[in-house]
Amino acid sequence: MKSFILRWRLVLVLVAVLVAVTAFASANPAEAAIERIPFENINVNCVILSQNMWVENGILHIRERVMNGVVESDGDHHEGTTRMVANANIDMATGYGDYWGLLTIYPYAYPDGFWDGKWVMQVNEGGAGGFARLKGYGVLNGSISKSLLTPLTPADLANYAYLCGGNQPISGAHAVGFMTRPDGG
């Protein structure tokens, strides 16, 4: 009986090794050509175009706040103009809250492409932060952008007034992340 179990274990090990070798050998060549590019951005919102706001039980609710803004980046894939749709639930007593929405970036260097996706952020007793996940479209099709977000304080935002024509930005975030490009394109 022991030799029967040992043979089955040997067969299972050989099958596992064969599967692993086959999977490695048949890896998709396109996957190997994906380029990962780190970036650092400052995203600021300059103008509120529309919004719905109300206070209920001490919570400020913001829905569908549509804003135009600008991204300043260390690379040309993200630097450009933005359209953001933001939502939030903010505790008026503490200032803590949850934020989420949609972000579209129109890079100056890629007029026939854009980024589009979702972002989330939380401000609580332990700190503040969030993330954004965007997909590329047009000439950026197949690219993905992932970043960690840190909200900018009003004092930080004052340093970026030049991005909003000299006016204090409404809100903003520091984004650190990476993007991928298929085929190194």
Closest CA to 69 of 161, 159, 147: 161
Q: Summarize pLDDT for 108-118 with one digit per residue, the tens.
A: 999 999 999 99
- Place 184 in a pLDDT band, splitting at 50, 70 and 90: low
Q: Alpha helices, DSSP H only, in 26-119?
A: 29-32
- The answer to whether the CB of 71 falls within 8 A of the CB of 78 is yes
Please return the burial class of 41, using the count of CB atoms within 10 Å of its CB with bins 0-12, 13-18 and 19+.
buried
Q: Summarize pLDDT for 62-119 with one digit per residue, the tens.
A: 999 999 999 999 999 999 999 999 999 999 999 999 999 999 999 999 999 999 999 9
Tokens 């004052």, residue? 158
Residue 13, φ and ψ in degrees, nearest 5: -65, -45
Neighbours of 152 (CB within 10 A): 20
Q: What is the mean pLDDT of the chain?
A: 87
Q: Provide the CATH topology of domain 34-184.
A: AOC barrel-like (2.40.350)
The most distant pair of C-alpha atoms in the chain lies apart, rounded to whole Å, by 83
pLDDT at 148: 97
Percent of the chain at pLDDT > 70 equals 81
Q: Summarize pLDDT for 33-57 with one digit per residue, the tens.
A: 788 999 999 999 999 999 999 999 9
Closest CA to 117 of 139, 129, 138, 100: 100
pLDDT at 127: 84
Q: Is the pLDDT of residue 3 over 60?
A: no
Using DSSP, state whether 182 is helix, strand or coil. helix
- The answer to whether the CB of 179 falls within 8 A of the CB of 34 is no
